[in-house]
Amino acid sequence: MASPRRELISLIEQGAIPPEQVAKAAKAAGLCPSPRAWGVFIDRLLLWLGGLALAFAVLFFVAYNWADLGRWPRFGLVQAALVVAVGIALWAKASNVVANVALTAATLLVGVLLALFGQVYQTGADPWQLFFIWALLILPWVLIVRFDLLWLLWLGLLNAALWLYFRTWGGALDVWVVSSDAIFWWLFVLNTTALALCEWGHQRWNWRVSRWALRTLALGSGVPVTLLMMTLIVDATTFYMPALVIYPLWLVSLYSVYRHWRPDLLLVAGGCVSLICVVTLGLARRLLWQGEWQPGSLLMLALAVLVMGAGAVVWLKRLHTEAPS
């Protein structure tokens, strides 16, 4: 069944609705937000901004007054704010929004407390350990609440921990799979696994996963594999050769899942952008670096990008027209 928005667009394209009546038709179809909907949106926006501002205010207050505050006032202030945030999350069960805001603020304050502990006692811990321990400490909250933003924050902490670990050590065993250049492989595996688990859970157990969260996970999966393929073009070494197989498989999987199984035109468009970037870099290497310089090389490259972009837009518009809803 087509959505009201698509039905309205179809009627407008067929000329069934005069141009001067489009605004009234959109309002009648419920496509324009009501004053109450705007009020709810502004109320929640201010609630989120206020909660996050208070959490960051604790961090900035301690940092600005570092010389004037003793050891115990620093810890006492952060811990008091953390207890208040958790208390609000526990006692605000009537409002899930308030509980989610409070728990998100508490999650940020856990990171502030860990950073404060490391700074005061000079533990000598590497930065990746901070993010990893932070992710471990908030994992129970993430599992209990099952809030999309907390899941993404937790996964972002793991991404940061991995990135900083490889930047610091380059791999504990110093072998191919854990060398310092393997960070993009690990990020790709981590984010792709998270995306696959979310899609599988949504399909099998009806997990409530929002579209924006899935799109963020898909971005976290697509960026590393695209960079790996582009690095292979620039530096054709054995380490990056698996990208020749993995990258096409990723593109095919992205198209199959988000074109037929769970249609999402934005993710298909993201695959097009990735492919255009890879092809453009390959052409640039061929025309500008390896081949003999020609005055029209840049023009040819610009025309190739223009043609690929226009072709992608036409194809995506056709997919949009063929979409069932």
Give the tens place of pLDDT for each residue, 106-116. 999 999 999 89
Q: Is the predicted pLDDT of residue 92 greater than 50, yes or no?
A: yes
For the chain, give every domain's residue range. Answer: 179-325
pLDDT digit string, tens, across residues 9-44: 666 667 777 777 667 766 666 667 778 888 999 999
Count Cα neighbours of 281 within 13 Å in the Cβ-side half-sphere: 15
Supply the mean pLDDT for the chain.
85
pLDDT digit string, tens, across residues 232-257: 888 777 667 888 999 999 999 999 99
> What pLDDT does 314 receive?
95
pLDDT digit string, tens, across residues 38-70: 899 999 999 999 999 999 999 999 999 988 888
| 2 confidence band (pLDDT: 50, 70, 90) | low
Percent of the chain having pLDDT more than 90? Answer: 47
Dihedrals phi, psi of 268, to nearest 5 degrees = -65, -40
| Residues 269-296, mean pLDDT to the nearest whole number | 84
Distance (Å, whole) CA 284 – CA 53: 45
Q: Is the predicted pLDDT of residue 121 greater than 70, yes or no?
A: yes
> What pLDDT does 6 receive?
66
| 292 confidence band (pLDDT: 50, 70, 90) | low
> What pLDDT does 241 receive?
83
- Residue 289 neighbours by CB under 8 Å, 6+ apart: none
> What pLDDT does 304 receive?
92
CA neighbor of 228 nearest in space, from 210, 256, 249: 249
> What pLDDT does 174 receive?
46
Of 69-78, 90-99, 177-186, 263-272, the least confident: 177-186
Give the Cα-Cα-Cα angle 137, 140, 145 (nearest 5 degrees): 130
Q: What are the CA-CA distances from residue 107 to residues 71, 103, 113, 156, 173 (Å)?
A: 22, 6, 10, 13, 33
Q: Maximum distance among all alpha carbons in the chain?
A: 73
> What pLDDT does 180 receive?
53
Q: What are the CA-CA distances from residue 241 to residues 20, 233, 247 (Å)?
A: 58, 10, 10
pTM for the structure as a whole: 0.84
Which contacts qualify for 58-66: CB closer than 8 Å, 24 or more apart? 58/109, 58/112, 59/112, 62/112, 62/116
